[in-house]
Amino acid sequence: GAMGGSASLIPRDLLAEYQELTFLSKQEILLAYKRFSELLPKEERESAYSARVPKSQILTLPELRANPFQHRICHVFSTSETRDDSMSFEDFLDMLSVFSDSATSDIKSHYAFCIFDFDDDGTLDRKDLEQLVNCLTGQGEESRLSSAEMEQLIQNILEESDIDKDGTINLPEFQLVVSRSPDFASSFKIVL
């Protein structure tokens, strides 16, 4: 085909299905496929759509290398049964779809919530918020907050977001806060 070698290896019916299930265009899916297969050893590239890429390889993508939540992102999008955070092509597409410009802010905020929920217990509690702040401010000594500053910041976040005052932020509370901050969606994206 005129598309050239690697891109035409996605079976047509799968390509159509991916377009339906994601916010990505056909071009974006083909580009994602090319990027994904380049993370695989040569001998596995033939059937990249059925291979898994280890987390260490996923993290080499420049878009994730600079992301403070890179480990959480791999964790949230990976469907690996062994919990090794490796990604299948479909996991990879899901991730790109959520981070794409076309994804709705509801979907973005839902995944952001999962990514920030470091202990995977379905709520953002003080510990999650502390890790979140540490990720955002960087772990360097000079950028680190003192415990008093951290305490104050977490107080502020909870006052702002914890509507039912139970000391944690649940998904609806988080989505409400996000809906009030117009720049949220634009900060939550990866463009290949």
Mean pLDDT of 121-127: 97
Overall average pLDDT of the 36-51 stretch: 92
Alpha carbons within 13 A on the beta-carbon side of 148: 0
Same domain, 79 and 143: no
Tell me the DSSP string of 132-185. Answer: HHHHHH-S-TTTPPPHHHHHHHHHHHHHHH-TT-SSSB-HHHHHHHHHT-TTHH
Q: 125 pLDDT exceeds 70?
A: yes
Query: Looking at the structure, do residues 28 and 88 belong to the same domain, yes or no?
Result: yes
**Same domain flag for 18 and 93:** yes
- My answer on whether 39 and 87 are in the same domain is yes
Let me know: does 138 contact 68? Beta carbons within 8 Å: yes
**Crossing angle of helices 12-21/26-37, nearest 10°?**
110
pLDDT tens, position by position, 58-103:
999 998 998 999 999 999 999 999 999 999 999 999 999 999 999 9
Name the band, by pLDDT with cuts 50, 70 and 90, for residue 6. very low
Residue 192 falls within a domain, yes or no? no
pLDDT of 181 reads 81
Picking from 82, 99, 116, the residue at the C-terminal end of a domain is 99
Residue type present at position 187: S
CATH of the domain at 109: 1.10.238.10
Q: Is residue 7 part of a domain?
A: no
pLDDT bracket for residue 46 (50, 70, 90):
confident
Mean pLDDT of 131-141: 82
Helix axes 89-99, 12-21, angle to 10 degrees: 40
pTM exceeding the 0.85 threshold for the entire prediction = yes
CA distance 128 to 122: 11
Is residue 130 domain-shared with residue 183, that is, in the same domain?
yes
| Residue 109 and residue 182 in one domain | yes
Mean pLDDT to the nearest integer, 30-48: 93
In this structure, are 132 and 66 located in the same domain? no
56, 74, 99 - which closes a domain? 99
Residue 35 lies in a domain: yes
When mean pLDDT is compared across 15-24, 26-35, 76-85, 145-154, the lowest value belongs to: 145-154
Collapsing DSSP states into helix, strand and coil, what is residue 82?
coil
Residues 86 and 119 both lie in one domain: no
Which of 76, 99, 122 delimits the end of a domain?
99
Q: How many domains does the chain have?
A: 2
pLDDT for 182 beyond 50: yes
Q: What is the CA radius of gyration of the chain?
A: 19
Residue 7 clears pLDDT 90, i.e. is over it = no
- Report how far residue 18's alpha carbon sits from residue 138's, in angstroms, rounded to the nearest whole number: 36
pLDDT at 187: 72
Q: Which residue has the higher pLDDT, 135 or 39?
A: 39
What pLDDT, on the 0 to 100 scale, is given for residue 128? 96
Which range of residues forms the domain containing residue 163? 105-187
Same domain? 79 vs 136: no
Does one domain contain both 176 and 123?
yes
Q: What is the mean pLDDT of the chain?
A: 90
Asked if residue 19 has pLDDT above 70, the reply is yes
pLDDT value at residue 138: 76
